[in-house]
Amino acid sequence: MLKEQLEDVEKRIQAACDRSGRRREDVTLIAVSKTKPVSTLQEAYDLGIRVFGENKVQELTEKYEALPKDIHWHMIGHLQTNKVKYIVDKVDLIHSVDSLRLAETIEKEAEKHNCHANILLEVNVAEEESKFGLKTNEVIPLVEKIAYLPHITVRGLMTIAPFVDNPEKNRTIFADLQKLYVDIKKKNIDNVNVSILSMGMTNDFEVAIEEGATMVRIGTAIFGARNYNI
Ligand SMILES: *Cc1c(COP(=O)(O)O)cnc(C)c1O
């Protein structure tokens, strides 16, 4: 079942790339494995998946210990400053930085662990009350501040679009994030090297790819529905 679902997602990513004149290799699939057991991740690994996204620090570190070391781990969930130390040297990318305080903590812990942290700034493009993330107009000032921190680099932007019945409703949100991304690139800020646009989930990843996503975070379409009660 996992194999078929992965193949289906892969086909849909390819089709969205074809429709928008983009190359498949310019879009990274992050398999969002939160709540799924290690055995399921191992199964995905055996099918060739090497990039996994998790949203909880403890779950990520447990899976990190249990699974092969050539996996690339992405922290996609809200991150508390007191937990940065557990993951800073284990993840390739933190998708969810939304304050200077969190960036400064990542800087401090990266220095301590003798590593370099790659981050995305999470933008709440739709300004939903219930969501974390920066407002659009807060992004460039924060990028300029983080640029001074030597152990952390802003690689791009991330958004979680609203849950909608029709993914077309999120198209302008993805387009707006892409515009902001281009604005940051144009500013050529020292120590800022943006090349990543993390947007699109099970319900809307095709539209996100059409609007320029370079990373899609897909859980349900690969692993099936999550059960939070176990
Ligand atoms: C859970 C989660 C996803 C994946 O969601 P699906 O709808 O299951 O594809 C993507 N991004 C973030 C930040 C998540 O927390």
What is the distance between the alpha carbons of residues 84 and 61, in angstroms, rounded to a whole number? 11
Atom of ligand 1 nearest to the CA of 32: 4
Residue 162: both structure tokens together:
């609203």
Interhelix angle 136-146/171-187, nearest 10 degrees: 30
DSSP string computed for 36-80: --HHHHHHHHHTT--EEEES-HHHHHHHHHHS-TTPEEEE-S---
Which residue's alpha carbon is at the smallest distance from atom 12 of ligand 1? 76
> Residue type at 75?
M
pLDDT in tens, 5-14: 999 999 999 9
Q: Under a CB-based contact definition with an 8 Å cutoff, are residues 32 and 218 in contact?
A: yes
Superfamily for 2-223? Alanine racemase (3.20.20.10)
Pocket of ligand 1, candidates 51, 55, 56: which has the most ligand atoms within 8 Å of its Cβ, to mutate?
55
* Mean pLDDT for all residues in the chain: 96
For residue range 126-164, list pLDDT tens digits in order: 998 888 999 999 999 999 999 999 999 999 999 999 999
**Assigned token pair, 7:** 């193949």
Task: State the virtual CA torsion across 138, 143, 145, 151 in degrees, nearest 10.
Answer: 140
155 CA to middle of ligand 1, Å? Answer: 20
106-126 in b/e form (b: 16+ CB < 10 A) is bbbbbbebeeebbbbbbbbbb
How far apart are the CA of 52 and the centre of ligand 1, in A?
11
- Amino acid 230: pLDDT: 54
For the segment 87-102, the average pLDDT, to the nearest whole number, is 98
Asked if residue 79 has pLDDT above 60, the reply is yes
- Cβ(227)–Cβ(7) below 8 Å: no
> Residue 190's pLDDT is what?
85
Residue partners of 189: CB distance under 8 A and separation at least 6: 143, 144, 147
Cβ distance 209 to 17 under 8 Å? yes
pTM, entire model: 0.97
Of 125, 141, 139, 217, the C-alpha closest to 173 is 125
Q: Is 168 helix (H, G, I), strand (E, B) or coil?
A: helix
Cα 221 to ligand 1 centre (Å): 10
- When pLDDT is averaged across residues 216-221 and rounded to a whole number, the result is 98
Residue 64 to residue 145: CA distance in whole angstroms: 31
Contact 155, 118 (CB under 8 A): yes
pLDDT at 71: 98
- What number is the average pLDDT over the span 162-182? 97
Q: How far is the CA of 226 from the centre of ligand 1 (A)?
A: 10
pLDDT tier, 229 (very low <50, low <70, confident <90, very high otherwise): low
DSSP single-letter state for residue 150: T
Q: For residue 131, give every residue at least 6 positions away whose Cβ sits within 8 Å of its Cβ, in sequence order, or none.
A: 124, 160
- With the most atoms of ligand 1 within 8 angstroms of its CB, the residue from 59, 76, 96, 163 to mutate is 76
Distance CA 144, CA 134 (A): 14
CB 153 within 8 A of CB 118: yes
Average pLDDT over residues 32-57: 98
Q: What is the pLDDT of residues 97-124, one digit of tens each?
A: 999 999 999 999 999 999 999 999 999 9
Q: Please calculate the CA angle 219-225-227 and round it to the nearest 5 degrees.
A: 110
Higher pLDDT: 17 or 129? It is 17
